[in-house]
Amino acid sequence: MKILTVSDTVSPTIYHPSIAERYSDVDLVLACGDLPNYYLEFIVTLLNKPLYYVFGNHDDKVIRTEQGPKPIKPSGCINLDGRTVNHKGLLLAGLEGSMRYKSGDSPQYTDNEMWLKTLSLVPWLFWNRLQHGRYLDILVTHSPPYSIHDANDLCHTGFRSFLWLMKHFRPRYLIHGHVHLYGANPARQTLYESTLVINTYGHYVTEWKKL
């Protein structure tokens, strides 16, 4: 199974009429946040493949109207935040947002708030273990784990709860965005315990093989 992952910036090679030919072998799309809805809708329409997403800290989840706030979501795409999903035998879970660094409606969380979100997944991870013999295959996040691919400023500091989840529930991949890749040899992949942490800034293709 080939998985296209995207985050943070509109890639010209993806946002192009030839996407269906270039990525005809892709089976699944995972979006890690800070992307416009039109871009995700373009991808899911032209590739005609399932697309799961989490929101980033620059994404607006609601629009203010005279009737009150209304949710904003990309058409044809599936929000993975705070959920576990079995996609054709592939066990997915998602956690949106970044470290809280300012007020507002965009998805931001303190470290303690993200601990609560992470812990809310635990009953479903144990259910996966009972049903499928493993807890989780891929964790989709916007922010990186603490001390892996993160930065020194508060906004780009990773979450400690992700380290705990990787250590105890052993997903094969944690795929995140949020931290932009600059320089000649930026760190895109890091192994932590048994989990390969991938920064998918822009776009990236991962191949999933059953063990």
For residue range 82-109, list pLDDT tens digits in order: 999 999 999 999 999 999 998 877 799 9
> Which region, left, alpha or beta, applies to residue 81 given φ > 0 means left and ψ of -120 to 50 means alpha?
beta
Cα Dmax for the chain: 53
Segment 4-38, tens digit of pLDDT: 999 999 999 999 999 999 999 999 999 999 999 99
What single-letter amino acid sits at 18?
S
Q: Over pLDDT 70: what percentage of the chain?
A: 94
At 186, the pLDDT band (50, 70, 90 cuts) reads confident
At 69, the pLDDT band (50, 70, 90 cuts) reads low
Q: Is the pLDDT of residue 179 over 70?
A: yes
pLDDT of residue 62: 64
User: The whole model's pTM is what?
Assistant: 0.94
pLDDT of residue 65: 58
Q: Over pLDDT 90: what percentage of the chain?
A: 81
The CATH code of domain 2-207 reads 3.60.21.10
pLDDT of residue 210: 77
pLDDT of residue 37: 93
Q: Is the pLDDT of residue 63 over 70?
A: no
Rounded CA-CA distance 123/65 in Å is: 36
Mean pLDDT across 35-43: 95
Domain residue spans in the chain? 2-207
Rounded CA-CA distance 25/49 in Å is: 10
| CA nearest to 145, candidates 93, 198, 207, 187 | 198
pLDDT of residue 102: 87
pLDDT of residue 26: 97
Rounded CA-CA distance 28/31 in Å is: 10
Mean pLDDT across 62-87: 83
Mean pLDDT across 150-159: 92
Query: For the sheet containing 2-7, what is the strand order?
Result: 78-79, 51-53, 28-31, 2-7, 202-207
pLDDT of residue 120: 98
Say if residue 9 is exposed, middle or buried (CB neighbours under 10 Å; 0-12, 13-18, 19+): middle
